[in-house]
Structure 1
């Protein structure tokens, strides 16, 4: 009998009279006690240390400058994620194309923009005017349609959206491609044999099934993108971090402002994680009950002090 002990009665043939004795886990109790004590000690040290200047943190939490920076961060994240999903999906479909004229450029696109660091891309796009002084649209037989100065177009916000969108599109292309490849090829062939066009079969057969594998990494990428947007402060975009820097550059209250930024990032990530959880539940309706029961069983096994074993 695994992980349990029992006392056999005098009449060993009477199995219904067996008394199950719970098996104790002293090391598990000791580990949980140490963790609780350590967390309590850390929290006590943080909240009682005057150097953290918690009153100043509370004062700046709803500061208009901080809230405007937070709004810019959220807007930038949403805009970049929408563009990245669109471009990444197109690149994924191109990579899956049997034509090399489509698959090879898509693979080069993913290799380039996923491989180059986001910060480097931000700086390069922001300084695009060094290479291209003007942006001109010219058509044969028509001539110049319009021409504008690159600096007038490539503002800090535009450079941030372009750079981060292309960077995230490289990751999204691989996420969508792996999700589409997870669908059994026979289903696509069956749809084509029924007369469905390839685009229709992808939209109605492949994508609904692939979403189960696409949603979780996409949610993680969105959360990671939210934190990556802090890089745009390098090119003077008024995001959350840049707003905090603008304040503590005048007041020298560096640590409290950085704590404010951290708290707002944690709040926003928590909201996004909650939304991701419900999206995953929506696209995994069939496995909802099984997954919930499995998760609860795992939590019970991890945090239970004593474990009772069933008698076979």
Structure 2
């Protein structure tokens, strides 16, 4: 009669034929990081709680004025100023960037001088200068250069506070937009342009299909920061009595002496708008980042949340 030892192979034979057992991978413990995260979360909770429970903020007043007509009108003007100045700034900035990249030394020098002047002076000084431009040029005329003028208009009647804000902010954004666009164009590999020229591809097609898609990956993050900076920078037009968001809340707290709650109204609106702009910037960056990496794009926060929800429901 066969015994179990006769049926089963020897232990040495089992060891040679069976695959080696897989080693269990254990994540490295990082108690320091968890402790730091706990302390940071505790401090953040304390800060939020102190703001919410502090009666000096007068949250009931904030809620009453948050959607007031005067505040919404000021917010509308702020958004309009931001959109107009940034659109004009990038339009003129594109021309200025081409001048900076031109082989013509005159155009290149003039572009550099413009950027140097407007980046070297504070925005408030520029706005006050344009607001008082009537002292330097009482009248503006249209006619033959160094000859007779056909139409003459008083500067005071032509340029008001709102137009002054648009002109001043546009000229400032033009200088920064030109450098952003120039940096994006320079980030494109020169070898790709040479290869496109060797293949006989038209310059417009090279610009549309090769230069712009790759340059936008470098332009969009900085342009997003410019957009948010332009939104917050419009608050300086309040010194010209332009009824933007900040000036609207200032009028209220100068009459009611509720300074803190009205400033919180403006702060919350700025937070809301910048958050929406940041979300748009995130998805715009993803759009132009397609094909930049072999592994593809990382999942969005919404996709990660859906995956986590499925894991929880599946468990």
Question: Are the counterparts in 2 of residues 175 and 218 from structure 1 also a CA contact under 8 Å?
Answer: yes
1:162 counterpart SS class: helix
Displacement after TM superposition at 1:111 (Å): 0.7
Contact 1:114 1:168 in 2 (8 A): no
Kept in 2, the 8 Å contact 1:76–1:229? The answer is yes
User: What do the CA deviations read for 1:55-79 (whole angstroms, capped 9, x no partner)?
Assistant: 0000000000000000000000000
Q: Which residue of 2 aligns with 1:308?
A: none
Aligned partner of 1:162 in structure 2 is: 167
Supply the distance in 1 between the matched residues of 2:212 and 2:25 (Cα, whole angstroms): 51
Of the three residues 107, 119, 124, the one matched with 1:119 is: 124
CA RMSD after TM alignment: 2.4
Deviations 1:221-262 (A, max 9, x none): 011110011000011110000000011110000000000000
CA distance in 1 between counterparts of 2:27 and 2:57 reads 47
CA distance in 2 between counterparts of 1:247 and 1:167 reads 30
- Give the superposition deviation at 1:81: 0.3
> Which of 194, 218, 232 is the matching residue for 2:223?
218
2:95 matched to 1:90?
A: yes
2:61 is the counterpart of 1:74: no
What's the offset of the Cα at 1:16? 1.7
User: Which one of the candidate residues 101, 105, 114 is aligned to 1:109?
Assistant: 114
TM-score computed with the length of structure 1 as normaliser: 0.84
Instruction: Report runs of 4+ in structure 1 exceeding 6 Å deviation.
Output: none
SS in 2 for 1:125: helix
Matches within 5 A, 1:1-312: 16=21, 18-139=23-144, 143-193=148-198, 198=203, 201-287=206-292, 290-292=296-298
Name the CA distance, whole Å, in 1 between partners of 2:202 and 2:27. 62
CA deviation map 1:246-279 (0-9, x unaligned): 1111000000000000000000001111111111
Q: 1-side partners of 2:34 and 2:100: how far apart?
A: 53
Distance 1:176 1:254, change over 3 A: same
SS of aligned partner of 1:286: coil
Aligned-partner Cα distance in 2 for 1:209–1:162? 31
Aligned to 2:5: none
The number of aligned residues is 285
- Secondary structure in 1 matching 2:21: helix
Is the radius of gyration larger for structure 1 or structure 2? 2
Q: Take 2:163 and 2:23, find their aligned partners in 1: how far apart are those partners?
A: 74
- 1:310 corresponding residue in structure 2: none
Query: What is the alpha-carbon distance in structure 1 between the residues aligned to residue 146 and residue 27 of structure 2?
Result: 88
Give 1:15 shift.
5.4
Which consecutive residues of structure 2, in runs of 5 or more, have no partner in the other structure?
A: 1-14, 305-315
Q: Which has the higher contact order (CA 8 A, sep 6+)?
A: 1
User: Does the CA-based 8 Å contact 1:84-1:165 persist in structure 2?
Assistant: yes
Distance in 1 separating the partners of 2:24 and 2:61: 61
SS at match of 1:147: strand
**1:309 paired residue number:** none
Alignment deviations for residues 79-118 of structure 1 (CA, whole Å, 9 cap, x no partner): 0000100111100011111011211101111111122111
Higher mean C-alpha deviation, range 87-96 or range 143-152: 143-152
Name 1:7's counterpart in structure 2: none
Q: Hey, what's the Cα distance between the residues in 1 that align with 2:147 and 2:204?
A: 35
Q: How big is the shift at 1:203?
A: 4.0
Give the secondary-structure state (helix, strand or coil) at the position aligned to 1:136: strand
TM-score, with length taken from structure 2: 0.84
Q: CA deviation at 1:205?
A: 3.2
